[in-house]
Amino acid sequence: MTGPPIEFPDAVFVARAYLQEALTARGVDVPVRTRVPSPRPARFVRLERIGGARVDLITDRPRLDVHVWGEDDDDVADLVRVVRPLMLAMPGLRGGVRVYDVAEVGGPNTLPDQVSDQPRAAFAVEVSMRGTTLAPDPWLTRHPITHPRRRPGFSHGGRMSTPTPPVLEDGLRNQLIRKQLVQAIYAADYSVAAVTALFDEATGALVALPTGYVPIGYTTDDGLTFTSDLSMADVTSSQSVEPTRSDVESEVLTGGYAPQETNPAAVSMYKGLPLSGDGALPGIGEAWEMTRPSVPRLPYYRLLFIGLDYGDDGGEIYIVKHYPKARVTSKDDQQWARSTETQWPVTVQAYRDPVLLTSEKEWVDGPGWRALAPSGG
C-alpha cells in the first residue's frame, strides 16, 4: 500500500464515547471504561482492543473485546441485550470519525471474573474506521521553511502536489437502503382538511390524522406504484447536436394500486362516489345500491400514502406522500373468478391544491430515521 502517511483513530476511545452516549440516551446509567474501575462498580462495560489490522490505505479494522459486568447472571444478560445491538449500530460519523461497518466475530459468552467470581459476559466485534492524513511535524509548524521562488502548486522537490483522491466507499451506506415493508393508503373527501403536519416535532412519532381520513385496506402484493410523466420542451440549434435549452413543459404525478377489500372507501373511489355525506355508501353489512349516472362524476379526494420500514435499532422509518387534491383518472379491469379475489384497481392523478399551492407533499421521518443522525448533530 502506497500513498501519504495515514493516522488512524483510537478505536477504543471512539467506541467508548459512542457507547457511553448511546446508553445515557436510553436512560441506562452504566459506566463504560477501558480499565476495571477501582473501586469496581456492580455494573459496568469495559472495552479493549485485542488486535485487528489495516485493510487498505485509509481503513483500519481493529478487533474490540466488550466485557459486560453485572450484579448477577440475569443482570448481565439484560445489559448485554442493550450493549450488543448498540455496538452493532455504530456505523456512521462518530465524534468526527467515519465508522464504515461493525461485524460480530464472537458472540456473547459467560466469563465470570477469575478473582472475584463476579458475573461477566464477553463478545467481540471488528470495526472498520477511516483514518486521516498524518498532520505535519509540529517542529515544522513552529519553524516554517520559506521558499521565495517556489512555484504555486509544486512540492519541495518541484513536483506537482497531488490532492487526496476520493474514497469511493465513503458514499456507500447500506443503512440508507429502504423498503416499504408495510404500506397504507388513507382517503378523504376533498372537503376534509389537508394533512400539513404528520410527525411529532420532538420524537418523530406519527401523530393522529385529521378527522375524515379512512383506510383503503389491503392491496395486492404489487404494492403502490408512483409515476412521474415528465415532458420537456427543447430548443435545438444548428450549431449543436444536443438541445441548447430545455424547459419543463408538464409533469403529471400518478399513483396506482389495487384494493382487495370490498369496503366503502375502495368501492367509492372506484365508482366515483363521495366517502361521506349525501351519496356515500352506508356501512359494511348494510344494503348497498349503486346506479351509474348518464354522465359519470369524478370527485376530488385527498390521499395519503404511508410506507413503513425499520432501522437497525428497530425504530420506525416512514416515507409518506400526500396528494392534497387527487381524482381517479384510470381504472383497470375487474375480474370475477374463483381463482382470484375481487379487486378495485385505480390510478389516481395529483392536481395542484389552490390552498397548499402544491400537488404533492412528502415526508421522511420517524424515530428510526432520527437515530441515523450523525453523533453530535
CA–CA separation, 2 and 154 (whole Å): 20
DSSP string, 236-304: --TT-SS-SEEEEEEEEEEEEE-B-S--HHHHHHHHT--SSSTT----TTS-------SS-----EEEE
Determine contact, residues 15/92, Cβ cutoff 8 Å. Answer: no
Alpha-carbon distances, residue 279 vs 230, 282, 297 (angstroms): 36, 9, 12
Question: And the C-alpha cell for 327?
Answer: 381524482
Residue 98 has pLDDT above 50, yes or no: yes
| pLDDT score at 106 | 92
Q: Per residue in 173-212, is it b (16+ CB within 10 Å) or e — as a string?
A: eeeeeeebeebbbbbbbbebebbeebbeeeebebeebeee
Q: What is the pLDDT of residues 203-243, one digit of tens each?
A: 999 999 999 999 999 999 999 999 999 999 999 999 999 99
Residue (of 104, 105, 102) closest to 128 by Cα position = 102
CA–CA separation, 209 and 222 (whole Å): 26
CA–CA separation, 111 and 185 (whole Å): 51
Q: What is the pLDDT of residues 177-200, one digit of tens each?
A: 999 999 999 999 999 999 999 999
DSSP string, 310-356: E-TTS-EEEEEEEEEEEEEEEE------SSS-----EEEEE--BTTT
More confident: 171 or 191? 191
Question: And the C-alpha cell for 50?
Answer: 485485542
Domains of the chain, each with CATH number or no CATH: 6-133 (3.30.2000.30), 178-284+297-370 (2.30.110)
Number of alpha helices (DSSP H) and beta strands (DSSP E) in the chain: 5, 16
Q: What is the pLDDT of residues 314-357, one digit of tens each?
A: 899 999 999 999 999 999 999 999 999 999 999 999 999 999 99
CA–CA separation, 16 and 34 (whole Å): 8
Determine contact, residues 120/69, Cβ cutoff 8 Å. Answer: yes
Residue (of 289, 292, 283, 287) closest to 264 by Cα position = 283
Determine contact, residues 133/142, Cβ cutoff 8 Å. Answer: no
In the sheet where 97-110 sits, what is the strand order?
A: 32-33, 44-56, 59-69, 120-130, 97-110, 92-94
pTM above 0.85, yes or no: no
> Band of the pLDDT at 153, cuts 50, 70, 90?
very low
Which residues neighbour 367 within 8 Å (Cβ) at sequence distance 6 or greater? 203, 204, 205, 315, 316
